[in-house]
Amino acid sequence: MYLKTVTDRINLPVFFGSHFILVIILITCLFFQEKSARFFKQSRMALLESGGWFFIASLSILLIGLIHLTLFHGKMKLSSSNESPEFSRLTWFSMLFSAGLGIGLLYSAVYEPLFHYFHAPQIQPLNDPAKFIKALDLTFFHWGILPWILYSSSGLLFAYFGFVKNRTLDYGNVIPPSYKILKRVLNILAIISVLAGLLVAFAYGSSQIVSGLQKVFPSLPNSFFVQSLIILSITVIATLSVLTGLNRGIRRLSEFNIILTIVIFILSVVSLYDLPTFLNTTQIFAETLSLHTKSLFSNLVYQGDGGGEKWVQNWTFFFWAWWVSWCPFVGLFIAKISKGRSIREFVLFTIGIPTLFSFIWFTYFSAIAKISHDSAAIDFKTMTLGSPPDTLFALLELSPIFNLLLILILVSIILYYVTSSDSGSYVLHLMTTKDQDNAPMSIKVYWSLLEGLLAIALLGFGGVAMVKDLVILSSVPLLIYLVFGMIYLNLNLLREARQK
C-alpha cells in the first residue's frame, strides 16, 4: 500500500528516465573506462577549443536580460498573490550563498589566485604588484559576477514561471505544460547535471577534509578507504538533515555556517596580518576592484592570446561550464526560497552581495599567502601544482591560533558539504515528484543516500576527470535553454506591459 502511494506521487518518466541514463553512464565508465575517458576528453577539448564564442554570447544575453528586468520590471513580486517572503534576508542570503559557493571558497581561497600568479602565461611578463593584482582580477572574474549572473538568471526564470505563472517548480517549467515530453527531457538532463556537479564538488571536499585531518593525524593516509569513510559519515549527517526539512535542517545549518565563515575570515585576518600589511592589502583590493571593473569585458572575450590557450580552456571555459551545470541545482533552490521577493531585490542580492564577499575573501587570504611565499616561509609555487587542498591549511599554520582555525574550517567544510547535499536532494525531489509540497520523505532520503554512494563509486574507479568532462558537455544544452528562457521571459513581460 505504501509503495503504491509513493509511486503515485513520483514523476515516473523523469525518475526512471534519469536512472536509465545514469546506469548507461556508469556501465560505460566502468566497463569501457579507457574508451569512455578518451571520448569525454576529446569531446570536452573540442567544445572548449571552439565554444568560447558560445559562452561569451550567452553570458552577454543573460546579463542584458537581467538588467532589463531589474530596470523595467524590478517592482514585480515573484508570487501570484503579493505574498511576503518566507525567510528573512539573513536566512535567505545564508541559504543561497551556501548552495552557490560553499566548499569552493575554502578550497580555492589561496590556491587559485596564486596559481594564476605563478602559472597563468598571459600575466607572467608583468612585474609586481601589477602581476598579483592581475592574478586577483582573473580570480574575481571566475568567482564574481559571472557565476551569479547564471544563478540569478536561472533562479529568476524558475521563480517567475513557478510562482507568478503557477507552474510546477522544476527545471522545465519555462516550457508550457502541454509540451510534456520536452519538459521531461529537460528535467532528466538537469538531474544528470546536478548529480555530476555535486559528485565532483564532493570529491574535492573530501580531499580537503583529509588534508585538514592530516594536520592532526599526520599518519592518516589519503586513501580511498579514508575518503569513502568521510563521504559515508557526511552522507548520514546530510540524510538526517534532510529528514528535518527545509525550514529546519538546511535553514539552520546555512545560518550557522555563514556566521562561521565570517568568524574564520576575521580570526584569520586578525591572527595573520599586522596593521601596515592589512592597509597595503586593502589598497591592493581597491586597485584590483578598479582593474576588474575596467577589464571585465576584455576578460570576457579573451581567447588565449599570448600563449594562454590551454589556460583559458582549463580555467575560464571550464568555470563557465561548471557554473552552468550547477544552474539546475542552485537556480531551483534559490527560486524555492525566494517566493515573495521582488525582481529587483532578487537580482541585486543574488549578484551583488555574494560577489563582493568573494572578492574580499580571495584578496585577504591570497595576499598574505603571497607574502609568506616571498619571505620563503612556504613554497606555494610548488604547492599550487601538486597539492591544492593543502594551500589554505599551509597558510593558516603560520597563525598562532592554527588549531582553532583548523577545527572551524573542518566544521565549515563538512557543513557546506551537508548543505550542498541537502539542497541537491531537495531540488532532485522537486524534479521527480508530482505533488511537490507533499512529496514522500523517502524520495529525499533516497537522493541523499544515492549522492553519497555515487561519490564513493566515483572515487573507487577514478572517474573524477570523466565526470568533470561530463559536466562541461552537459552545460551546452542547459545554457541554450537558459538563454532562450531569458529571451522568452523578457518578451513575455514586454507583451503583458503593452496589453495593460
- Residue 316 DSSP symbol: I
Comparing CA positions, the residue from 319, 107, 315, 100 lying closest to residue 207 is: 107
Q: What is the CATH number of the domain that holds 193?
A: 1.20.1740
**Residues 6 or more apart from 37 whose CB is under 8 A from it?**
29, 465, 466
341: nearest Cα among 33, 60, 11, 95: 95
Distance of CA 208 to the CA centre of its chain: 17
Q: Which domain holds residue 448?
A: 2-499
Angle between helices 251-272 and 343-374 (to 10 degrees): 30
Q: Which residues of the chain have pLDDT under 50?
A: 1-2
What confidence tens digit (pLDDT) does each residue in 26-84 have?
A: 887 777 777 777 877 787 777 767 667 888 888 889 999 999 999 998 889 988 777 88
C-alpha cell at 422: 541537502
Residue 51: strand, helix, or coil: coil
Query: Is the model's pTM score more than 0.95?
Result: no
Report whether 346 contacts 157 (CB < 8 A).
Answer: no
- What are residue 433's DSSP bridge partners? 10
Classify residue 462 as left (phi > 0), alpha (psi -120 to 50) or beta: left
**β-bridge mates for residue 342, sequence order:** 77
Name the strand (E) or helix (H) holding 17.
helix 12-31
Cβ pair 325, 476 in contact under 8 A: no
CA dist., res. 89 & res. 227, Å (int): 36
Q: Are 147 and 100 in contact (CB under 8 A)?
A: yes
Interaxial angle between packed helices 52-72 and 318-325, expressed in degrees from 0 to 180 and rounded to the nearest 10:
50
What digits encode the pLDDT tens for the residues 243-274? 776 667 677 777 888 889 899 999 999 999 99
- Among 288, 434, 469, 107, smallest CA distance to 115 is for 107
Rg (the chain; Cα; Å): 22
CA dist 225 and 321 (Å) reads 31
Q: How many domains does the chain have?
A: 1
Which has the closest alpha carbon to 464: 227, 173, 168, 141? 227
User: Rounded to whole angstroms, how far apart are CA atoms 151 and 335?
Assistant: 10
- The reported pLDDT for the residue numbered 67 is 93
Polymer length in residues for the chain: 500
Mind listing the pLDDT tens digit for each residue in 427-461?
Answer: 888 888 876 666 677 888 888 888 888 888 877 77
- Quick one: what percent of the chain has pLDDT higher than 90? 25
Rounded to whole angstroms, the maximal C-alpha distance in the chain is: 72
